[in-house]
């Protein structure tokens, strides 16, 4: 059974700003553009065999990119609730003694 892994690199220097109401992030700075993509195939013998790369069309910086904030915010809220309840219980038990 063989496995394939395809990758490419886009180097960036600059910074991101996040627009919380729209759950979007914006990049300001310079990008290198995407490198050629390479597919690495690993067979049963575990010896990797890279294939020649192809050059995709680069995407310009500054465009909004959807983030996973909708997953992070509820998780953080749950953590705050659990920690708050634990501290409240701890204070209640300490005062009861």
- DSSP state letters, the chain: --EEEEE----EEEEEEEETTTTEEEEEEEE-----BEEEEE-TT--EEEPPPB-PPPPPTTS-EE-SHHHHHHHHHHHHHHHHHHHHHHHHHHHH-
Number of domains in the chain: 2
Same domain, 62 and 79: no
Same domain, 35 and 75: no
Give the pLDDT confidence of 46-58 residue by residue, as tens digits: 555 555 665 555 5
Same domain, 50 and 7: yes
pTM of the complete model: 0.34
Q: Find the domain containing 27 and state its range.
A: 1-66
Higher pLDDT among residues 97 and 56, named by residue = 97
Same domain, 43 and 27: yes
What pLDDT, on the 0 to 100 scale, is given for residue 25?
Answer: 82
Same domain, 48 and 5: yes
Same domain, 58 and 15: yes
Same domain, 76 and 61: no
């Amino acid at each position: 059974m063989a496995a394939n892994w395809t990758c490419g690199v886009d180097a960036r220097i600059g910074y991101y700003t996040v627009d919380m109401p729209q759950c979007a992030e914006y990049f300001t700075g310079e990008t290198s553009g995407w490198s050629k993509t390479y597919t690495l195939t690993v067979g049963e013998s575990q010896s990797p065999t890279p294939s020649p790369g192809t050059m995709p069309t680069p995407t310009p910086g500054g465009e909004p990119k959807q983030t996973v904030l909708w997953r992070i915010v509820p998780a953080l809220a749950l953590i705050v609730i659990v920690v708050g309840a634990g501290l409240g219980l701890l204070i209640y038990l300490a005062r009861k003694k």
